[in-house]
């Protein structure tokens, strides 16, 4: 998939644990893992809104598009 989720980077920059983030956003730690590992097929706008509110960021800070085959998408590919 050409959409990459940069939650790892944002959580690290803010010193926030997955558990604290999940609680603040209102999702399970397992769903945070699905997002972080690039296995999510969809994200509700309400969830994206809660993520951005919690992290104090814009949707483009969380999601980015990478052209297929350029070698930069490693999440969920085993690379």
The pLDDT assigned to 74 comes to: 52
The pLDDT assigned to 78 comes to: 44
In this prediction, residue 1 has a pLDDT band, given cuts at 50, 70 and 90, of low
Long-range contacts of 19-23 (CB under 8 A, 24+ apart): 21/54, 21/55
In this prediction, residue 24 has a pLDDT band, given cuts at 50, 70 and 90, of very high
User: What are the boundaries of each domain within the chain?
Assistant: 3-58
Condensed to tens digits (0 to 9), the pLDDT of residues 34-62 reads: 999 989 999 999 999 999 999 999 999 99
CB 28 within 8 A of CB 75: no
Q: What is the pTM of this model?
A: 0.81
Q: What is the CATH number of domain 3-58?
A: 1.10.260.40
């Amino acid at each position: 998939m050409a959409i990459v989720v940069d939650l790892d980077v944002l959580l690290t920059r803010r010193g926030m644990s997955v558990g604290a983030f999940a609680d603040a956003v209102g999702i399970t730690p397992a769903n945070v893992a699905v997002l972080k590992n690039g296995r999510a097929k969809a994200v509700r706008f309400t969830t994206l809104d809660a993520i951005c509110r919690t992290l104090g960021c814009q949707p483009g800070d969380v999601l980015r598009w990478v052209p297929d085959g350029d070698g930069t998408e490693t999440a969920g590919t085993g690379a």
